[in-house]
């Protein structure tokens, strides 16, 4: 893309990141657990905990990534989304990726944007629902690295967009296809599965759970399916703390008791990665088979669905229409607002 003579806008896609080799699994996990947004202990204690947890979990995690070809697909998926978004945004826009816990790190992205000579920056988390543990953490890291490297250009933030029409339409489109497939085995139940959080995080005012509920309700309505059976559940629980629920496992058990097929819709993940390709596709599918659930259909993540990509372009072009709007509907204020 040529930007000669025009205004240059850098769009920064925030995401978690993932190891790009099996050797990267342990340091990736260390970076994750050494984040104050994940473990809120004093620095030295957090560092020691991160060393311990990453060493303990690395063998299991390496086994997971072996099933994915030895690396996370998240960066290639995000690169594809960036190219698709550039195509919709048109001349003068360029997408950059800033991963939180592995390459390309935020400091690398800041350096690339400085070299490109951006006139303005738009920060676009690929987390539709705001959480201090995801968007909040990426935003803090961005400000730290931008200040450290002297990147001083107008910067605006799209903090969350849980009910953006393009996102809702794309997810509803995929959910309807899954529902139709599962209907051959009976009246399906759609399970909107999101990554869980400890209850203590929500108790401190994190709006994530409430925003997940907004997304699920909007998508359920947009399917247009009469008398739709649907529920929200949370996956990926780790550690001894009490987490928000119900868990995806518990909802699978309820579906088995009710004898209904299930359609799993990733409601907070917009890209395929270990939580979808292994946890949902392998582990929960196996559990569903064990429980005797009539059918188990997993809907793809949004990826480069045209409606979703157009929706992201809308968030960039009209940030005032989205920033803070979800929180207003919920009667609260996001930390990023």
Same domain, 146 and 254: no
How many secondary structure helices (H) and strands (E) does the chain include?
13, 8
Phi, psi of 29 (to 5 degrees): -65, -40
Q: Would you say residue 193 lies in a domain?
A: yes
Q: Would you say residue 3 lies in a domain?
A: no
Q: Would you say residue 4 lies in a domain?
A: no
Taking only the tens place, the pLDDT of each residue in 206-234 is 999 999 999 999 999 999 999 999 999 99
Same domain, 153 and 249: no
Predicted confidence (pLDDT) at residue 327 exceeds the cutoff of 70 = no
Q: Would you say residue 82 lies in a domain?
A: yes
pLDDT at 2: 40
Q: Would you say residue 335 lies in a domain?
A: no
CA-to-CA dists, residue 242 to 25, 65, 200, 221, 237, angstroms: 26, 27, 8, 31, 9
Predicted confidence (pLDDT) at residue 333 exceeds the cutoff of 90 = no
Same domain, 181 and 132: no
CATH number of the domain that residue 283 is part of = 3.40.50.1400
**What mean pLDDT, rounded, does the chain reach?**
94
Same domain, 241 and 113: no
Same domain, 269 and 178: yes
Same domain, 154 and 182: no
Predicted confidence (pLDDT) at residue 321 exceeds the cutoff of 90 = no
- The Cβ of residue 165 has, within 10 Å, a number of other Cβ atoms equal to 14
Pairing, β 262-266 against β 296-298: parallel
The band of 239, judged by pLDDT with boundaries at 50, 70 and 90, is confident
**39 and 46 in contact (C-beta within 8 Å)?**
yes
Pairing, β 120-125 against β 9-15: parallel
Q: Would you say residue 303 lies in a domain?
A: no
What is the average pLDDT across 185-202? 97
Q: Would you say residue 56 lies in a domain?
A: yes
Same domain, 129 and 178: no
pLDDT at 31: 96
Same domain, 199 and 69: no
**Domain that residue 182 falls in:** 165-298
Same domain, 157 and 96: yes
Taking only the tens place, the pLDDT of each residue in 142-182 is 999 999 999 999 999 988 999 999 999 999 999 999 999 99
Taking only the tens place, the pLDDT of each residue in 255-284 is 999 999 999 999 999 999 999 999 999 999
pLDDT at 316: 93
Q: Would you say residue 1 lies in a domain?
A: no
Token representation of residue 235: 């996956």
Predicted confidence (pLDDT) at residue 3 exceeds the cutoff of 60 = no
Same domain, 34 and 127: yes
Residue 164 assigned to a binding site: no
Q: In what order do the strands lie in the sheet with 93-99?
A: 93-99, 9-15, 120-125, 155-157
Q: In what order do the strands lie in the sheet with 189-195?
A: 229-235, 189-195, 262-266, 296-298
The band of 336, judged by pLDDT with boundaries at 50, 70 and 90, is low
Same domain, 233 and 153: no
Per the structure, how many domains does the chain have?
A: 2
Phi, psi of 73 (to 5 degrees): -85, 5
Residue 213 assigned to a binding site: no
Selected residue with higher pLDDT from 301 and 4: 301
Calculate what percentage of the chain has a pLDDT beyond 90: 89
Same domain, 169 and 128: no
CA-to-CA dists, residue 211 to 24, 268, 323, 334, angstroms: 32, 10, 13, 11
């Amino acid at each position: 893309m040529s930007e000669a003579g025009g205004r240059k806008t850098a769009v920064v896609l925030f995401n978690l990141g993932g190891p790009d080799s099996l050797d990267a699994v342990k340091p990736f996990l260390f970076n994750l657990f050494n984040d104050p947004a994940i473990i809120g202990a004093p620095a030295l204690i957090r560092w020691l905990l991160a060393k311990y947890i990453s060493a303990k979990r690395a063998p299991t995690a390496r086994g997971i990534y072996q099933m994915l070809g030895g690396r996370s697909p998240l960066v290639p998926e995000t690169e594809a989304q960036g190219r698709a978004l550039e195509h919709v945004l048109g001349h003068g826009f360029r997408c950059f990726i800033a991963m939180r816990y592995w390459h390309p790190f935020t400091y690398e992205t800041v350096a690339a944007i400085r070299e490109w000579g951006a006139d303005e920056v738009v920060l676009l988390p690929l987390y539709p629902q705001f959480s201090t543990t995801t968007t909040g953490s990426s935003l803090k890291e961005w400000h730290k690295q931008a200040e450290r490297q002297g990147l001083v250009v107008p910067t605006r933030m799209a903090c969350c967009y849980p009910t953006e029409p393009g996102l809702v339409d794309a997810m509803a489109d995929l959910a309807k296809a899954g529902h139709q497939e599962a209907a051959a085995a009976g009246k399906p139940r759609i399970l909107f599965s999101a990554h869980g959080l400890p209850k203590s995080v929500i108790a401190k005012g994190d709006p994530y759970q409430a925003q997940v509920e907004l997304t699920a309700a909007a998508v359920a309505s947009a399917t247009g399916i009469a008398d739709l059976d649907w529920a929200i559940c949370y996956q990926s629980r780790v550690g001894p703390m009490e987490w928000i629920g119900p868990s995806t496992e518990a909802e699978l058990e309820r579906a088995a008791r009710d004898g209904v097929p299930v359609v799993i819709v990733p409601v907070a993940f917009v890209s395929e990665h270990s939580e979808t390709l292994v946890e949902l596709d392998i582990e929960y599918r196996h559990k569903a088979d064990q429980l005797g659930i009539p059918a188990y259909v997993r809907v793809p993540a949004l990826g480069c669905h045209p409606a979703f990509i157009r929706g992201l372009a809308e968030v960039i072009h009209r940030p005032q229409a989205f920033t803070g709007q979800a929180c207003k509907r919920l009667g609260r204020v996001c930390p990023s607002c």
